[in-house]
A and B are shown apart, each in its own frame.
Chain A
Amino acid sequence: MIVADRKPMEEILAMLAPYKRVLVLACGGCVTVCVSGGEKQADLLASQLKLAAAAAGRADVQFDVDCITRQCDREFAAMLKKPLDQYDAVLSIACGVGVGFMSELAPQATVLPGLNTTSYDASTAKGVWQEYCGGCGDCLLAETGGICPIVRCSKGLTNGTCGGTKTGKCEVSKDMDCGWYLIFKKLQAAGKLELYTKVRPAKKWSKDRNGKGARRLTHKELMETEEFSK
């Protein structure tokens, strides 16, 4: 799932400073699951914003809260209690997708990000989410024992450990596993160590975000026409 973390409060306060009528818009999708951008977090954030405004002597500001099932699907926008452009600003606490999509759906509205979107994670323990996929568009997991070297190796290397590996940890931090060491251990355990030294062509970074515009997934059978505007 997509994981996002709340932006530092001072950044949010600075972003919202020019606005009076603000909607804190939660998303019922991934950010609810990672307990960063659900309706409860929107309530709490609105509460904080109201207190901050009161402390700053601003009586003219108003903070509403709304939540839709997902901010990344057009249809759910119909759930909004009020059109977004009726607010001076919308602080979306969805991932960046929601912020961008809501902004696109409401051309007149100012939609601002309340979270920093970080990664694609699994919940590894109570209250802990960890990145497992780099979304690189060219999945290597078949050859790496299901451990993503793009995510787990600090350098995103594709051909084994570098010289910075030390007792299974990365040179960057002794608290950080060496991704390729994990892959080595996993492949060793699975009896597939030949995959470790397999000749891998240089990674196709063209599949990653690379300046060619937004990547796009299309399922032709689900499209109304094969032509689409964007």
Chain B
Amino acid sequence: MTTTALNENTPVNPNEPVSRLQREFQAGHFVVSGEIGPPKGTSIEKCLHEAEEYLKHTVVAVNVTDIQTAVMRTGSMAISHMLVDRGIEPIFQMVTRDRNRLALQSDLLSAWCLGIRNVLALTGDHVAMGDHADAKPVFDLDSVGLLRAMTTLENGSDMGLDAKGNANVLEGSPKFFKGCCVTPCADEVEPQILKLQMKVAAGAQYVQTQAVYEPAAFEKFMTEIRKRGINVPVLVGIVQLKTAGMGKYMNTSVPGVKVPDWILKKLTDASKEDRQKISIDICGQLVREMKDMCQGAHLMTLGWDHCVPDIIKAAGL
């Protein structure tokens, strides 16, 4: 029943897609990805069930978060692997907060061995944001360093050197579809663009963005990065707003996210029973407005995974 990939060391065509996600981009399709968060504990059935029920047939790939917001929970690699087993393509999120370069490289090799092909390199929220504030933050590498590590592994060596100062040669190397993240609507976008440049230079092949609610700002961002020669596919991030309060919270607390008043008003005005539908409509509208600016959308429904099919419908995809 396992579909563990063969550990082959065959030369690969650099353009040969390693995953369905990469293939879809190459085919020029508008790509939708979803996201699940592993639970705190061993009861993983619910999250797997929702992935199978609502995401498997609606999205191209599913992000699996990695100890999101530094709140300890089941690991991303295990759940990603289980998605592979269930015929769902995972996007293995990897943060640099909790592992040094040894563990990161090792886990990348492990993930490849477990059939995981899409990796999203993230720095990760600070431990101070989560439920283990006294933990030692690692950050041996950052997202750029992790992307470089992946590229290095793909090239058949690791980050270390042997006694003679030569790169260590791997016995068999992986091939990933390497993604990264960006915040397009940050109050000061220039550092974001510079960082994105660094990530792409380090090997990033696609981008999933932080939540975007302002199509105009997003368009400006897209124009700017394309102008600068950043041509990798971009999936615009859509975080489903369940209530106006959540929108307000994001405005005050989530860096680089601005929820405009019209959205807050719609949510405020909606009756309790209508709220979910309104929420779906908002997501759909946002995707509709931005789909021509980018190559896909990344839907973050935060537990309302059952809404994904309706959002896609509402988006007219």
Check if A and B associate: yes
Chain A binding site: helix, strand, loop or mixed by DSSP?
Answer: loop
Across the interface, do A162 and B143 meet the contact criterion of CB distance under 8 Å? yes
Say whether B210 faces chain A, with CB atoms less than 8 Å apart. Answer: yes
Q: Point out the residue from B125, B128, B187, B197 that lies within 8 Å of A197, measured CB to CB.
A: B197
Interface bits B217-244 vs A (CB < 8 Å: 1, else 0): 0000000000000000000000000000
**CB atoms of A162 and B123 under 8 A apart:** yes
The CA-CA distance from A202 to B202 in the complex, in Å, is 12
A59, CB-defined interface residue at 8 Å: no
Number of B residues, CB within 8 Å of A: 37
Report Cα–Cα, A160/B196, bound state, in Å: 10
B167 CB–A CB distance under 8 Å: no
Residues of chain B within 8 A (CB-CB) of A155 are 97, 123, 126, 137, 139, 142
Q: Please state if B123 and A157 are interface contacts (CB–CB under 8 Å).
A: yes
Q: Do A161 and B191 contact each other (CB < 8 Å), given the known contacts A155-B126, A166-B256, A202-B148?
A: yes
Assess whether B190 is interfacial by the CB under 8 Å rule. yes
Instruction: Please report the number of residue pairs spanning A and B whose Cβ atoms sit closer than 8 angstroms.
Output: 92
Given contacts A202-B159, A205-B140, contact A160 B190 (CB under 8 A): no
Candidates B191, B254, B256; contact of A184 at CB < 8 Å: B191
Give the contacting residue for A159; candidates B101, B198, B256; CB below 8 A.
B198
Is A5 in the interface zone, CB < 8 Å from B?
A: no
Q: Does A165 contact B (CB under 8 A)?
A: yes
A193 at the interface (CB under 8 A from B): yes
Q: Kindly identify which residue among B125, B139, B148, B192 contacts A161, using a CB–CB cutoff of 8 Å.
A: B192
Asked if A146 lies at the interface with its beta carbon under 8 angstroms from chain B, I say no
Q: Whole-angstrom distance between the alpha carbons of A199 and B141 in the complex?
A: 13
How many Å from the CB of B190 to the closest CB on chain A? 7
Within 8 A of A (CB), among B116-158: 122-123, 125-126, 128-129, 137, 139-145, 148-149
Smallest CB-CB separation from B139: which chain A residue? A155
A181 CA / B181 CA spacing, docked (Å): 18
In the bound assembly, the distance between CA atoms of A196 and B198 in angstroms comes to 9
- Answer whether residue B188 sits at the interface, using C-beta atoms and an 8 A cutoff: yes
B190 touches A202 (CB 8 A): no
The verdict on A156 contacting chain B, using a C-beta distance below 8 Å, is yes
On whether A166 and B129 interact (CB within 8 A), knowing A171-B255, A202-B141, the answer reads: no
B201 at the interface (CB under 8 A from A): yes
Minimal Cβ-Cβ distance residue in B for A170: B126
The docked-state distance in angstroms from the alpha carbon of A157 to that of B139 is 7
Q: Which residues of A contact B140 (CB under 8 A)?
A: 202-203, 205
Task: Output the nearest chain B residue to A150 by Cβ-Cβ distance.
Answer: B139
Say whether A160 contacts B125, CB under 8 Å: no
Chain B 82-102, CB-CB to A under 8 Å as 1, else 0, gives 000000000000000100010
Contact mask B165-199 → A, CB, 8 Å, 1/0?
00000000000000001110011101110110110
**A residues near B210, Cβ cutoff 8 Å:** 163
CB B213 to nearest CB in A, in angstroms, measures: 16
Complex Cα–Cα for A75 and B139 (A): 41
| Interface contact B148-A165, CB-CB below 8 Å | no
Q: Mark A141-161, 1 if CB is under 8 A from B, else 0.
A: 000000000000011111111
Say yes or no: is A164 at the interface (Cβ < 8 Å to chain B).
yes
Beyond A171-B126, A172-B126, whether A165 also contacts B144 by CB under 8 A is: no
Q: Are B137 and A161 in contact (CB under 8 A)?
A: no
- Residue contacts A-B, CB under 8 angstroms, 14 given: A155-B97, A157-B139, A159-B144, A160-B144, A160-B198, A161-B192, A162-B142, A163-B123, A164-B125, A166-B255, A171-B255, A172-B126, A184-B194, A202-B140
List 11 other contacts, CB 8 Å, given A163-B181, A172-B129, A181-B191: A155-B97, A155-B142, A156-B137, A161-B192, A162-B142, A163-B210, A166-B255, A193-B194, A199-B201, A202-B145, A202-B149
Closest 6 CB pairs of A and B: A166-B255, A159-B144, A162-B123, A157-B142, A160-B195, A155-B139
